[in-house]
Chain A
Amino acid sequence: MRSLLSMLRRRLPVALLVTATLAVSAPSFAKEVTVTISNFAFSPQKTTIAKGDTVKFVNADDTVHSVVAKDGAFHSDGLDTDGSFSYTFSSAGTFDFYCGLHPFMTGEIVVN
């Protein structure tokens, strides 16, 4: 997480600022976790969070990606470079997701 944050600081100062703003306005018990899209892969590929936490997907690639829940629960628009999409997971379970443009890119969110 430390290296992820330092990468975000380098590459995405605006996104980080937005993150900070959101964190302030969100309830104190809810966290925001970032999944970075880089080199046509989600990183981390598997993320464990608590119920009520928000996952922010940030596209660090030179091309467009999207984030689609396998069960259809959410679907981002196309995310350009530095574009992001956030989703709050309100129930426990394992949620598979993938890129709607490059479906070989897959990931998993485990909500406890």
Chain B
Amino acid sequence: MDDDTAAGRKLNRRHALECMVWAGTGVIWTLSGGVPKALSLLDEAQAAEAANSSFTFLQISDSHVGFDKEAPVTAIDTLHEAVGRIKGLSVQPSFMLHTGDITHLSKPDQFDDADQIIGSTGITTHYVPGEHDMVDAGQGKAYMERYGKDSWGQGWYAFDQNGVHFIGLVNVVNLKAGGLGNLGAEQLAWLEKDLADRSAETPIVVFAHIPLWTIYPEWGWGTEDSAQALALLKRFGSVTVLNGHIHQIVQKVEGNMTFHTARSTAFPQPEPGKAKAPGPVIVPTEQLRGMLGLTSVTYTVGQKQLALTDTTLA
């Protein structure tokens, strides 16, 4: 009995948080054994259930509905294509995370189009806003009315799936002159409370629009007070941080934390510092899908390095 439990624990540790397949323009993450490091705390029945509770989810980001500068291909076209890829997956994700910039200009028809296209997957989607979703006259009112009903403050929330704790953070509101992304004291206090009674064995997935680690501050690619959030997360054995905003894949592993940014479904942006400004890279149409390509990522608990395989939509 003890041997079985030990073997099961070992297996699940190794295979928990396996991040498998990129699909369309999103990342597919598979988490096997929802509570990999907590199995020793569970009774046998719970352990068996946890071991059978593998699930897959998809990250989609920066759909920028309303953007049309890659003419003749629009952001709506490429979002349709991404959704087509999702529908064609042999294993459907349990849910999706959208890491912001759903729209380009926070306009009602842009939110409507995004809802209609993404909703056609029939897959539950959890959103966090990007700064482009906050530029209506109400400075975020349109987003909050649509997506913020079950959230705290200016749109942050948490939920659990098969023993994994997901935290959606908002770092695009009330940005300060000269500054980076910003979480703010109210959200940090909420996060501290949300994490306070949680076992350090609980796998955590944090998702937010602007990277929660500093990639290139000259272009605002970082979050002013993210160090305070990361300090709260430090005691956890498995933390995965998923962001968007920069329209390209950048990642790093630091201790128990894995940071990863997703590609956009709409347009590429330049590599940090490789252009005068971080605006859209307008490319010949035949090159666009090559720059909106696919990347498969494999993440295994206990292994510090993510395995990445990039493919393209071309």
Contact = CB atoms under 8 A, between A and B. Distances in A.
A87 interface: no
B69 interface: yes
Interface string B167-182: 0000000011111100
Interface stretch (B4-12, B25-33, B135-143): B135-143
Tell me what chain A mostly uses at the interface: helix, strand, loop, or mixed.
loop
B136 A106 contact: no
A106 to B, nearest CB: 5
A103 B179 contact: yes
B142 to A, nearest CB: 11
Contacts of A106: 177-178
A70 B67 CA distance: 28
Interface stretch (A8-16, A24-32, A46-54, A58-66): A58-66
A56 interface: no
Nearest to B276: A39
Interface stretch (B144-152, B277-285, B289-297): B277-285
Given A39-B277, A40-B279, A62-B280, A103 B69 contact: no
B246 interface: no
Interface string B88-101: 00000000000000
A84 to B, nearest CB: 14
A63 B280 contact: yes
B236 interface: no
Given A75-B139, A77-B136, A78-B105, A103 B176 contact: yes
Interface residues of A, number: 24
Nearest to A98: B177
A35 B277 CA distance: 18
B104 interface: yes
Contacts of B136: 77-78
A40 B177 contact: no
Nearest to A69: B177
Nearest to A68: B177
B61 to A, nearest CB: 16
Contacts of A68: 177
Contacts of A102: 219-220, 278
A103 B105 contact: no
B105 A96 contact: no
Interface of B: 67, 69, 104-106, 131-132, 134-137, 139, 175-180, 217-220, 276-280, 282
12 contacts: A39-B276, A40-B219, A40-B278, A62-B279, A64-B135, A66-B135, A80-B105, A98-B177, A98-B178, A100-B134, A103-B178, A104-B220
